[in-house]
């Protein structure tokens, strides 16, 4: 991760097909295309990759979450339970539809704690959205059971987890509706792009129409299409889809490289008694896009994070002090800093953030370091990195034994 590290002839070929015919839009212009329909081809490939009936491509991962929620009927005043650890796009997508994000604690999977989810359900709860952060997953069976017992929509944001599986099923295809991002730093990149994945035909048709101004896409005359309901523009372009088409065919290659590099670093860190690794639920396999581990306390985590940076070990994130991925510094959300008036329903619904604390989430995120696994490293580079990381962590943790 990310896939752009290994751009090559296959990506160039697909992009050149689009440039050759000049049709950058995914819909219409049939006669000019010379048979090239990159978005349609990518959707077909993704159906096979995700073992799912339907895939709708959109313009970004954020668009995918927004379209997924809308397609499932989530809207004004509905509550959507989501984790404290995610990307800001999760609550942005919910609020875009006039719904209310209800943030709850994570557990040692770094995703939703099913007990915290259960405790947060109210009469307004419409959906539960698990976010498969940093290449792994939550307790999917437990979360599914909560959804089923309360008749809630189960949404899976797998934007960071393509290639991971749970009990043999690809992440992103397990819940009622799933979401992916193919932005510039994802394992598979389109530059910008995303996908909605589902086995529910109604959700798929809703996503297909809603993401293109409500067009029903019936027939081959775009001007004659009807609009069964209101929609907006979340379309992907053919250029973006072309890059993704080449990349998705290389996913097994990318996952194999990530697993090899991940394993080398994990084995080095596993020799340190103070290091604990993120829990992967039984039956799950990570995508190996990130290596997540816990250190004994916040002080040591901060010390190690700074030492990594000082020694050129890049792309290792301490999310406790991060502005984008953890609630602790989401002041723009807590204070509702908006360019336009926030609806009274959402404003009232988010008052809880003024006083709500998340001690359980704090305890995990404060001690966690999340290290990106790159595709372009040579084996020597990975081993040098692993040894340097292990030495830094050992030295930082030695303070505990001395005390």
Q: 296-318 in b/e burial notation, b at 16+ Cβ within 10 A?
A: bebebbbbbbebbeeeebeebbb
CATH class assigned to 252-402: alpha beta
Quick check: do 3-250 and 252-402 share a fold? no
- Output the CA torsion sign for 62, 123, 327, 370: negative
Domain ranges of the chain: 3-250, 252-402
Q: What is the total residue count of the chain?
A: 403
pLDDT tens per residue across span 61-112: 999 999 999 999 999 999 999 999 999 999 999 999 999 999 999 999 999 9
Quick check: helix, strand or coil at residue 93? helix
- Sheet holding 165-166: strands in order across? 169-170, 165-166, 284-285
Q: Virtual CA dihedral for 108, 110, 115, 121, nearest 10 degrees?
A: 170
Pairing outcome for strands 169-170 and 165-166 = antiparallel
Helix, strand, or coil (residue 285) = strand
Residues 108-125: pLDDT tens digits?
A: 999 999 999 999 999 999
Instruction: Tell me how far apart the alpha carbons of residues 277 and 291 are, in angstroms, rounded to a whole number.
Output: 8
Domain made up of 3-250: CATH architecture: 3-Layer(aba) Sandwich (3.40)
Q: Which residues are catalytic?
A: 186
Beta bridge partners of 100: 79
Q: How confident is the model at residue 400 (pLDDT cuts 50, 70, 90)?
A: low
User: What integer best gives the mean pLDDT of the chain?
Assistant: 97
> Rounded to two decimals, what is the model's pTM?
0.97
Residues 304-319, mean pLDDT to the nearest whole number: 98
């Amino acid at each position: 991760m990310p896939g752009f590290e290994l751009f090559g002839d296959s990506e160039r070929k697909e992009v050149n097909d689009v440039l050759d015919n000049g049709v950058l839009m995914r819909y219409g212009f049939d006669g000019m295309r010379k048979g090239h329909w990159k978005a349609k081809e990518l959707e077909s490939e993704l159906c096979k990759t995700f073992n799912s009936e339907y895939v709708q491509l959109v313009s970004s991962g954020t668009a995918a979450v927004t379209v997924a929620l809308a397609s499932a009927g989530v809207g004004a005043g509905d509550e959507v339970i989501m984790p404290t650890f995610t990307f800001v796009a999760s609550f942005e997508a919910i609020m875009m539809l006039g719904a209310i994000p209800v943030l709850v604690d994570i557990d040692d999977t770094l995703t939703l704690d099913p007990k915290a989810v259960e405790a947060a359900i109210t009469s307004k709860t419409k959906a539960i959205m698990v976010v498969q952060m940093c290449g792994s997953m939550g307790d999917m069976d437990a979360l599914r059971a909560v959804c089923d017992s309360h008749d809630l929509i189960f949404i899976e944001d797998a934007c960071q987890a393509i290639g991971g599986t749970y009990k043999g099923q690809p992440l992103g295809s397990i819940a009622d509706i799933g979401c992916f991002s193919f932005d510039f730093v994802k394992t598979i990149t389109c530059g910008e792009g995303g996908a909605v994945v589902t086995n529910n035909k109604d959700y798929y048709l809703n996503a297909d129409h809603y993401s293109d101004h409500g067009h029903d896409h019936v027939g081959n005359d775009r001007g004659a299409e009807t609009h069964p309901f209101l929609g907006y523009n979340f379309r992907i372009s053919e250029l973006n889809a072309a890059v993704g088409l080449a990349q998705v065919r290389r996913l097994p290659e990318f996952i194999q490289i990530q697993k090899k590099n991940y394993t080398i670093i994990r084995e080095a860190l596993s020799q340190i008694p103070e290091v604990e690794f993120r829990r992967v639920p039984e039956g799950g396999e990570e995508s190996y896009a990130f290596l997540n581990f816990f250190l004994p306390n916040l002080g040591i985590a901060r010390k190690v994070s700074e030492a990594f940076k000082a020694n050129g070990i890049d792309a290792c994130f301490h999310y406790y002090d991060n502005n984008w991925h953890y609630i602790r510094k989401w002041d723009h959300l807590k204070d509702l800093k908006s360019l336009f008036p926030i609806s009274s329903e959402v404003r009232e619904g988010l008052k809880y953030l003024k006083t709500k604390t998340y001690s359980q989430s704090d305890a995990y995120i404060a001690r966690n370091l999340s290290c990106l696994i790159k595709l372009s490293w040579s084996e020597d580079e990975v081993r040098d990195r692993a040894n340097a990381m292990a030495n830094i962590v050992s030295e930082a943790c030695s303070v505990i034994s001395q005390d």
